[in-house]
Structure 1
Amino acid sequence: MKIGVIGTGNMGRILTEAFIDGGTVLPEDLMITNRTLAKALPLQEVYSGLNVGVDAKAVAEHSDLIFICVKPHDVYHVISSIQNQLTHDKCVVSITSPISIKQLESIVPCSAARAIPSITNRALAGVSLLSYGDRCNEKWKVNLKALFASISAPVEIEENITRVASDIVSCGPAFYSYLTQRFITAAVNETEIDQETATKLAGEMLIGLGELLRKGYYTLPTLQEKVCVKGGITGEGIKVLESELGDVFEQVFKATHAKFADDLDLMKKQYTF
């Protein structure tokens, strides 16, 4: 199977690196391109044998499975430019949430799917979100699930939870990175610990927390119970969090969904759905 990646920005690059490092895709079976071609060439220096196409048409011609990794408002134009290369047996995959799988399927003559990755996939970890078009060949469903299983835990989702699932899986690492950075900064400001030590401790704590959850030793509630001993120091900290956080996370989801609604309105101008 030949795989193509059109767009080597943050997520296009991460997918390229993860697919190869995951061991299921050989560099020579992968072709990438970017509107500014110079941004794709550095990957070829890292992975010997990786192909760089001169444009999107070259990638689509060469590939059986084609990932469109560009901004939402550019997806329609990219797909329009490669229509002649999209034979019935191929599959086009969008990685952006504002474009529904029905909208994508309405403009391609082949199988269509959506795969929303996470930056955690670069470490061959985390979750990827999969959705398939009504005409998507069963072969491609199997192939996509296997491909993403090599770099993540793939989860098939319905259209109605696309945004919130993306908030948790794809935006979540940025949200929690921000919270952790604030946690570190507060420690440095309020105590004698230095930035480097606080950052190392916080990073290793997060890795350990992830392992506890991954291995199933605790759930989030039972973990809190184990650490938060009645009358102890952790409990005092939890009281502050309960008091100060309020509905901050509810507001986060309201904000992301409001922006998503704006994006959906823009996409309706390009698609028939």
Structure 2
Amino acid sequence: MRVAFIGTGSMGSLLIEAFLRSGALLPQSICASNRSQSKTKLLAQRHPGLHVVRSNVEAVQGSKIIFLCVKPLDFSKVIAEITDALDEKQIIVSITSPVEVGILEQLTPAKVAKIVPSITHSVHSGSSLCIYGKRIRPEDRLLLEQLMSSISTPFTLKETETRIASDIASCGPAFMAYMLQLWAESAEELTGISREDALKLGSQMLLGTGKLLTEGGFTTNQLIDRVSVPGGVTAQGLAVLESGLRGVFDRLIEATHRKYDEDLSKLHTLFGPLSSTKNP
């Protein structure tokens, strides 16, 4: 099975590298195109056998699955370029959350899915967010989820839930890293522990906490109760977090959704009348 990647920027390259490390794909089964061929050539140098093609149309031809790893505002141009080379047996996968499945279904004869990845896939972890178009058959969904399972945990959701799910699964690593960074900076300033040691301890703590919540059978409330003793040190710290963090995530969600709505508005302008049709 040949798999194409149109766009080999940050996320396109990450996906290719992750699939190859997992063994789910071999270099010979991958073809890649990019506006700057230097990026795809570097991938081919690291993974002999990977096909570098000169155009997006060439990438599409003969590929069963085509991952579109381009910026949202580049979608209309790329789709217009490749549509005539697509057929109803191929599967287009958008990794960009604002681009709506229903619009892509109107613009191409191919089957359409949206799969929003995460940087965590580079270590074969995290959730991949899966939204399927009307033409996706059960066997297509199985094929896609088998592929994504090699580097992540596929999570199916409604397209209307894409933004909030992306906040958690895709933006979340940056949010958590930022909070850990602030914690380490305060620890160094107030106690003398090195920032490096504080970050190492915090990183291992995040890893273990994730395992407790996914593999250890704990709910968030159970974990809090297990660690926190009434009147103890953890309880004092939780009281500070309660007073300081309450409302922070409301503002975070409002900010990310506001930017998402701006992106949607720009895309609707690009796609014109098609933008009025949304996938349920």
Is 1:27 matched up with 2:17? no
Q: Counterparts of 1:127 and 1:267 in 2: how far apart (Å)?
A: 26
The amino acid across from 2:129 in the alignment is L
Q: 1:176 Cα shift?
A: 0.7
- The aligned counterpart of 1:264 is 264
Q: Deviations over 1:111-161 (max 9, x none)?
A: 111110111111111100111111223332221111111111101111211
8 Å CA contact 1:7–1:33 kept in 2: the answer is yes
Q: Counterparts of 1:40 and 1:112 in 2: how far apart (Å)?
A: 25
- The aligned counterpart of 1:97 is 97
- The aligned counterpart of 2:278 is none
Q: Structure 2: which 5+ runs fail to align?
A: 276-280
Q: Deviations over 1:205-254 (max 9, x none)?
A: 11111222221242211111111111111111111111112300010000
- The aligned counterpart of 2:80 is 80
Q: 1:55 Cα shift?
A: 2.0
Q: 1:259 Cα shift?
A: 0.8
Secondary structure of the 2:113 match is strand
Secondary structure of the 1:151 match is coil
**1:45-124 pair list within 5 angstroms:** 45-124=45-124
Count of equivalent residues: 273
Q: Counterparts of 1:137 and 1:3 in 2: how far apart (Å)?
A: 18
Q: Counterparts of 2:204 and 2:54 in 1: how far apart (Å)?
A: 42
33-42 or 63-72: which moved more?
33-42
Secondary structure of the 2:98 match is coil
Q: Counterparts of 2:113 and 2:196 in 1: how far apart (Å)?
A: 43
The amino acid across from 1:163 in the alignment is R
Q: Counterparts of 2:237 and 2:136 in 1: how far apart (Å)?
A: 50
- The aligned counterpart of 2:175 is 175
8 Å CA contact 1:31–1:62 kept in 2: the answer is no
The ranges of structure 1 where at least 4 consecutive aligned residues each deviate by more than 6 angstroms after the TM superposition are none
Q: Counterparts of 2:138 and 2:75 in 1: how far apart (Å)?
A: 24
Is 1:149 matched up with 2:149? yes
1:132/1:217 Cα in 2 relative to 1: closer, same or farther (>3 Å)?
A: closer
Secondary structure of the 1:229 match is coil
The amino acid across from 1:258 in the alignment is R
Q: Counterparts of 1:21 and 1:203 in 2: how far apart (Å)?
A: 23
**1:247-258 pair list within 5 angstroms:** 247-258=247-258
TM-score computed with the length of structure 1 as normaliser:
0.96
Q: 1:79 Cα shift?
A: 1.3
**1:132-147 pair list within 5 angstroms:** 132-147=132-147
TM-score computed with the length of structure 2 as normaliser:
0.94
Q: 1:270 Cα shift?
A: 2.4
Is 1:216 matched up with 2:221? no
Q: Deviations over 1:84-116 (max 9, x none)?
A: 221221111111111111011111111111110
Q: Counterparts of 2:84 and 2:217 in 1: how far apart (Å)?
A: 53
Q: Structure 1: which 5+ runs fail to align?
A: none
Q: 1:57 Cα shift?
A: 1.5
Q: Deviations over 1:52-79 (max 9, x none)?
A: 1112122111412100000001011111
Secondary structure of the 1:66 match is strand
Query: Cα RMSD between the aligned structures?
Result: 1.2
Secondary structure of the 1:270 match is helix
